[in-house]
Amino acid sequence: MTDDRRPVPGDRHDQDRRAGKGDMPALNQLYFYLTEACNLACRHCWIAPRFDPDGSQAALPVELFETAIREAKPLGLAGVKLTGGEPLLHPQFATLLEIVRRAELALTIETNGLLCSRATAAEIARSPRRFVSVSIDGADAATHDWVRGVPGAFAQACQAVRNLVAEDTAPQVIMSLMRCNIEQVEAVVRMAQSLGASSVKFNIVQPTARGEAVHRGEDAPGVEELIGLGRWVEMELADKTGLSLYFDYPPAFRPLSRIARQDGCSVCGVLGILGVIASGHYALCGIGYHVPELVFGTVGKDQLEGIWRQNATLQDLRAGLPERLEGICSECLMKGQCLGSCVAQNYYRASTLWAPFWFCERAEAKGLFPRSRLAE
For the stretch 74-113, pLDDT in tens is: 999 999 999 988 999 999 999 999 999 999 999 999 999 9
Quote the pLDDT of residue 25.
94
Estimate the share of the chain in helix, then strand, then coil, as percent rounded to the nearest 5: 45, 15, 40
Flag whether pLDDT at 292 surpasses 80: yes
Flag whether pLDDT at 331 surpasses 70: yes
| Percent of the chain scoring above 90 in pLDDT | 86
Query: Average pLDDT of 197-226?
Result: 96
Q: How confident is the model at residue 13 (pLDDT cuts 50, 70, 90)?
A: very low
> Between 265 and 86, whose confidence is greater?
86
Whole-angstrom Cα distance, residue 102 to residue 58? 25
Quote the pLDDT of residue 14.
41
Question: Strand 273-277 to strand 281-283: parallel, antiparallel, or no bridges (unpaired)?
Answer: antiparallel
Query: Average pLDDT of 56-65?
Result: 90
Quote the pLDDT of residue 261.
64
Of 326, 348, 344, 347, whose CA–CA distance to 335 is shortest? 326
Which positions ≥6 away from 229 have C-beta within 8 Å? 177, 182, 185, 202, 221, 247
Query: Average pLDDT of 266-279?
Result: 88
Quote the pLDDT of residue 248.
94
Question: Does residue 140 sit within a domain?
Answer: yes
CB count within 10 Å of CB 319 equals 10
Question: Does residue 74 sit within a domain?
Answer: yes
Flag whether pLDDT at 15 surpasses 90: no
Question: Does residue 232 sit within a domain?
Answer: yes
Q: Which of 48-52, 114-118, 224-228 has the lowest mean pLDDT?
A: 48-52
Query: What is the average pLDDT score of the chain?
Result: 92
Flag whether pLDDT at 314 surpasses 60: yes
Q: How confident is the model at residue 336 (pLDDT cuts 50, 70, 90)?
A: very high
User: Would you state the torsion angle of the CA atoms of residues 81, 85, 89, 90, taken in this order, to the nearest 10 degrees?
Assistant: -60
DSSP type of residue 73? G
User: Residue 158 in contact with residue 197, Cβ under 8 Å?
Assistant: no
Quote the pLDDT of residue 260.
62
| Percent of the chain scoring above 70 in pLDDT | 91
Query: Average pLDDT of 305-331?
Result: 97
> Between 154 and 337, whose confidence is greater?
154
User: Residue 127 in contact with residue 98, Cβ under 8 Å?
Assistant: no
Quote the pLDDT of residue 4.
41
Question: Does residue 307 sit within a domain?
Answer: no
Question: Does residue 354 sit within a domain?
Answer: no
Number of H helices, E strands in the chain: 16, 12
Flag whether pLDDT at 302 surpasses 50: yes
Whole-angstrom Cα distance, residue 33 to residue 202? 21
Complete edge-to-edge strand list for the sheet that includes strand 106-111: 244-248, 199-204, 172-177, 130-135, 106-111, 79-83, 29-33, 273-277, 281-283, 295-298
Query: Average pLDDT of 169-189?
Result: 98
Flag whether pLDDT at 186 surpasses 90: yes
Flag whether pLDDT at 285 surpasses 90: yes
Question: Does residue 327 sit within a domain?
Answer: no
| Domain limits for position 106 | 12-271
User: Residue 221 in contact with residue 179, Cβ under 8 Å?
Assistant: yes
Quote the pLDDT of residue 24.
85
Instruction: Cite the beta strand spans of the chain per DSSP E.
Output: 29-33, 37-38, 50-51, 79-83, 106-111, 130-135, 172-177, 199-204, 244-248, 273-277, 281-283, 295-298
Question: Does residue 123 sit within a domain?
Answer: yes
What does the DSSP assignment read for 254-270? S-HHHHHTT-SPPPP-G
Which positions ≥6 away from 228 have C-beta within 8 Å? none
- Total of domains in the chain: 1
Flag whether pLDDT at 23 surpasses 80: no
Whole-angstrom Cα distance, residue 311 to residue 273? 14
Question: Does residue 52 sit within a domain?
Answer: yes
User: Would you state the torsion angle of the CA atoms of residues 99, 100, 105, 107, taken in this order, to the nearest 10 degrees?
Assistant: 180
CATH of the domain at 181: 3.20.20.70
Q: What are the φ/ψ torsions at residue 183 (nearest 5 degrees)?
A: -85, -5
Q: Which of 18-22, 158-162, 288-292, 297-301 has the lowest mean pLDDT?
A: 18-22
Q: Is 203 helix (H, G, I), strand (E, B) or coil?
A: strand
